[in-house]
Amino acid sequence: MDIGVLSEFFTDPVKFFLSLVDILIVSYLFYRILLLIKGTRAEQLLKGLLLLLIFSIGARYLHLEVVGWLMEKIWTMIFIALPVVFQPELRRGLEQLGRGSFFSTSLARWAEPGMVVDELLEAVSILSRSQIGALIVIERETGIEDFIESGIPLDAVVSSQLLVNLFIPRSPLHDGAVIIRNGRITRAACVLPLSDTPTLDKELGTRHRAGLGITEVSDALALVVSEETGSISLAWEGRLFRYLDDKSLREMLVQQLSRKDRRADVFRVLRWSSERQ
């Protein structure tokens, strides 16, 4: 350890402790911000900004005056455009801050999700075997009223029979998303925002992009059944987990809808992903 640091610790331990707390707070803030943008478009944009920063430092170090002047102008434009470019991530961060979940590792979830999960599993299993496309959204803390209002009111108990019938091809409500709020089917045929994440698999269609899109602007869960392959996917926080079996899907749904430590959720998902590879 540096002698200057040791001398500061012995001469003024209070100042040393406050400096340490200051560093830890800033480090934790950066950590939470990185978690917020991980797996989203902002992750690639941040890499681009870091490359520009390295280029700017190199131009200044090599005394490239014209390039340095040009980089200054570019940075001015970038700072003006940042709120627009990072709008989804800024919105999600402010929503988490308002819910009090930005600094916490847990999410408020349903206390008894078992019955709803059972009905969802049975429904998606039937839809998957029949290769009937479906999109089911489960609202959590962040309100998605704008998208709910685009659908047809139902206010029905969650049942596998009803869910399957809602997505039968050429039925009046099959096109769009079913949204579950407070353990009940609130609306059907809802229109959702499409994700424009550039890293998304090109073979994924509108249904998967809509399911991922709603999770990019809220903390909702989105269940997607592919019409082409019958595969089952689950999206949350801008991430899409594909080719799930009944066991994996049940674990994920129960974890996300019950009151459990979020770190355990992350470790379980990482372990499941490594087993699949």
pLDDT of residue 73: 85
pLDDT of residue 66: 86
pLDDT of residue 274: 44
pLDDT of residue 98: 63
Nearest of 211, 218, 244, 33 to residue 141 by alpha carbon = 218
What counts of helices (H) and strands (E) characterise the chain? 11, 7
pLDDT of residue 129: 94
pLDDT of residue 118: 92
pLDDT of residue 217: 83
Q: Are 108 and 255 in contact (CB under 8 A)?
A: no
Concatenate the DSSP letters of all residues of 47-87 into one string.
Answer: HHHHHHHHHHHHHHHTT-HHHHHHHHHHHHHHHHHHHHHTH
From the first residue on, what is the mean pLDDT of each consecutive set of 10 residues in the chain (277 residues)? 55 77 86 67 72 86 85 83 70 63 48 80 95 94 81 93 94 92 92 84 89 89 94 92 93 79 42 46
pLDDT 10s digits, 110-136:
545 678 899 999 999 999 999 999 999
pLDDT of residue 124: 96
Order across the sheet with 221-225: list the strands: 152-157, 184-190, 177-181, 134-138, 221-225, 232-236, 239-241
pLDDT of residue 55: 83
Q: 159-167: long-range contacts (C-beta < 8 A, 24 or more apart)?
A: 159/119, 160/119, 160/120, 160/122, 160/123, 160/126, 163/119, 163/120, 163/123, 163/127, 163/134, 163/136, 164/123, 164/126, 164/127, 164/132, 167/127, 167/132, 167/133, 167/134, 167/225
**What residues form DSSP beta bridges with 136?**
178, 223
User: How far apart are the C-alpha atoms of 186 and 202, rounded to whole Å?
Assistant: 32
pTM for the model stands at 0.60
What domains are there in the chain, each with its CATH number?
A: 3-99 (no CATH), 114-276 (3.40.1700.10)
Q: Are 190 and 181 in contact (CB under 8 A)?
A: no
User: How far apart are the C-alpha atoms of 221 and 205, rounded to whole Å?
Assistant: 18
Residue 110: helix, strand or coil by DSSP? Answer: coil
CA quadruple 166, 167, 168, 172: dihedral positive or negative? positive
